[in-house]
Amino acid sequence: MDPTPSPANYSQLDRVLLDEVRIRRRVAEMGRQITAEYEGQALTVVTILQGGAVFMADLIREIHLPMKLESISVASYHGGTESSGTVTFLQSELPDIDGRDVILLDDILDSGRTLAAIRHRFETEKKPASVRVCVFLEKNIPRAAEVVADYRGFLIEDLFVVGYGLDYQGEHRNLPVVGTLRPELIEK
C-alpha cells in the first residue's frame, strides 16, 4: 500500500483538523471507557444515520461487551452549512429500547436540536432503563437545545467540518480524516 495516500477527495479539504491516528486512538479510549462503565448492563447503541455510521462502526468494535445495535434516521440539515432548526424523523417507528441502557450516538453535537428531539421521543414514547449521549465531535458553541454529551471524542471550534461520517450536501462522509472544505466549494 502507498504509505502516503492522497486520495482525490482530500484535495477538496482546506485544512485537516483530525488525522486517522488521532481519531483511532481517541475512539479506542472511548470504547475502553464505555466497556468499563456498561459491564453487566443491557447496552443498546442507537446510531443516528447517516452521520453517525462511520463513528459507530469504529467505536462498537472497541466495546468489548454484549450489546445490541439500532439506528434511527433523521434530517436536520437541508443542503447548506446551517442546521435548519427542525428535525425530521425519516421513519415512524422508534427502535425497541424498552428496558435497555441506551447510548445515543451521533457524529456531532452542534445546536443540540437533533439529539434533544430524539432523546425526548425516547424518554416519552419508550421505556429505556437509561439514555446517554455519545458524540464524536462537539462544537464549542452555546447550545440552542439542552443536551450534554456524556461521551465526547473531540471538542472543536465553530467550523463546518466534513469527513469521518460528516457531510456537505451528502458528500465527503467517506474521508477517513476530519477537515474543513475549501471555501470556494461551499455555496454562498
Place of cell 474543513: 180
For residue 23, how far is the Cα from the chain centroid?
13
Per CB under 6 A, contacts with ligand IMP among 60-79 are: 76-77
Total number of residues binding ligand IMP (CB under 6 A)? 18
Distance of closest approach, residue 175 Cβ to ligand IMP, in angstroms: 12
Is 133 near ligand IMP (CB under 6 A)? no
Residue number, nearest CB to Mg ion? 51
Stretch that binds ligand IMP, among 1-9, 95-103, 106-114, 119-127 (CB under 6 A): 106-114
The residues carrying an active-site annotation are 110
- Residues near ligand IMP, by CB under 6 A: 51, 76-77, 83, 106-114, 160-162, 166-167
